[in-house]
Amino acid sequence: MSFATPLGLLLGALAVPLVAMYLLKLRRRRVEVPSTLLWQTFLRSERLATPFERFRRHLLLLLQLLALLLLTLAFARPYLQTDVPLARSVVLVLDTSASMGATDVRPTRLKEAASQARQAVDALGPADEAMLVVAGPSTEVRVPFTRDKGKLDAALGAQTASEAEGSLRDGLQLALSMARARGGVEVDVFSDGGGGDLHDLPLGRARLRYVPVGRGDTNAGILALDLRRSPVADLDRELFVTVEGFGRAPLDGTVEVYVDDALVGLRNETLQPDAPVHLVFDLPGTLSGQVRVKLDVPGDQLADDDEAWLVMSPLTLRRVLLVGGDALTARALSADPRVRLTTVASADLTPSQVEAADVVFFAGGTVPSGLTGRRYAILGPLSGSPVRFGDEVKVPKVLGWERTHPVLRFVQWDDVVVARARSVLDKGGLVPIVDSDGGPLVLAGEIGGGRVLQLAFDPLESDLPLRVAWPVTLLNAVGWLSEGAAGSQDALAVATGAP
């Protein structure tokens, strides 16, 4: 037994004067009498007044001492310290990211982690409660705080590894927030450690226990898969594949590309640890169907990242409408068999013709209104353009151009001679991609969801049509303007990693 206030025991010292008052003999007055015969009763009382006999028989003294004892104990506040456990609150954080599907632990890392979590559930007492948090691509509370072990066991057995990257950090943050709200919560994390650096998370009063699963590191995977327009043939495509090996030793692997089960590409690569390998496969624009990329590495312990898919639709002809153009421009556009060209005079243009075209080139007359969201190019400072022009600039000198812009691929502008151009007062939301000492010569950008290409000079007042750069620029413009148009392959594509 211990006392919360030991100094309260000093109150027991009052028992000493209390008992002393009862031990003192009565002092009687002496009186002479002729005989003691009549004083026998008095003598009997005198014998009863001896200290010990008086102490044994005085009930009031015993009651007073008992009251003093209780008062002393009340001030001293005695207590007993035992080993009886209090009720616990436990948050189980289960990692269900793609890496938990690895088979270096049989049957998988996730099944092993769920087994370890069940052991933690079995160790709970009758008054203990637990919560199950799943840390996968999204963090979710699968079972709120409960004392029902059967419900927790059933939820643990129902978990499956996802095929996407998980966020262990989000799951741990949720668990720690629960710990701060309730106080004294235990957090048990079951993971293979693929959640990144978690050392900066504040634990507060929570008690964290990490249970690692998995022991192997032999794995290689497909990190990225993308389908893009070919830089050589504008309407052909290129398949970009990025693979990487993980672990401590190089891995020999084979990358195979199938289109509807037909093998169209094969590469043998040695994958160095943590060194991505970028592969490019040329695909003709006439191909269509399901594209499947397969990575085969002997001894790979994680199969979920060894295959990737995308759907490839056939590239259709671009419907191009040329309004008021010259014969040279028309010839350059129609020379490509992947472009279906229609020409019309500016005065004869109808809204239905604009609606039916994928791309419209305005090379004369006035640009009509109502083109918001459309894809068009204006070959000169025409009236009705979204760009507002100022005074004439004679013989502007090219200062630079955006070499990475799709319209300017394989085109040199440093020695292009322009007889005259117009200064730009308002860009209308477009961005210059060719600049001169007199202002922008070519602008491009998006307006109202559509793409627009604007020239600040008439191409016929320059030497550009006499160069190979002119037909290349026109075909580049067709590809860029029609990219992502309704009904095109780009509109049907799904970004890599998106559901």
How many CB atoms neighbour CB 220 within 10 A?
Answer: 27
Closest CA to 130 of 203, 84, 182: 182
Residue 496 structure tokens = 């890599």
Residue 259 structure tokens = 């289109």
Domain limits, CATH 2.60.40.10, in the chain = 220-312
User: Is residue 137 exposed (0-12), middle (13-18) or buried (19+ Cβ within 10 Å)?
Assistant: middle
The fold adopted by the segment(s) 318-482 is Rossmann fold (3.40.50)
**444 neighbors 452 (Cβ within 8 angstroms):** yes
Which of 2.60.40.10, 3.30.420.40, 2.40.33.10, 1.10.1300.10 would CATH assign to domain 220-312? 2.60.40.10
Which percentage of the chain shows pLDDT scores above 90?
40
pLDDT digits (tens, 9 = 90+) for 272-292: 988 899 999 988 777 788 899
For 98-112, 341-355, 408-422, 446-460, which range has the lowest pLDDT when averaged over its residues? 98-112
User: For residue 231, what pLDDT is reported?
Assistant: 60
Per DSSP, the three-state class of 2 is strand
Contacts of 280 (CB under 8 A, 6+ apart): 238, 239, 240, 241
Closest CA to 476 of 366, 353, 318, 363: 318
Euclidean distance between CA atoms 187 and 440, whole angstroms? 61
**What are the start-end ranges of the H helices in 129-249?**
149-157, 168-182
Contacts of 400 (CB under 8 A, 6+ apart): 434, 435
Domain limits, CATH 3.40.50.880, in the chain = 318-482
List residues bridging with 461 in a β-sheet: none
User: For residue 479, what pLDDT is reported?
Assistant: 86
pTM: 0.47
The separation between CA 215 and the C-alpha centre of its own chain, rounded to angstroms, equals 26
pLDDT digits (tens, 9 = 90+) for 381-435: 999 999 999 999 999 999 999 988 989 988 889 889 999 999 999 999 999 999 9
CATH code that applies to domain 89-212: 3.40.50.410
Euclidean distance between CA atoms 152 and 208, whole angstroms? 20
User: For residue 227, what pLDDT is reported?
Assistant: 79
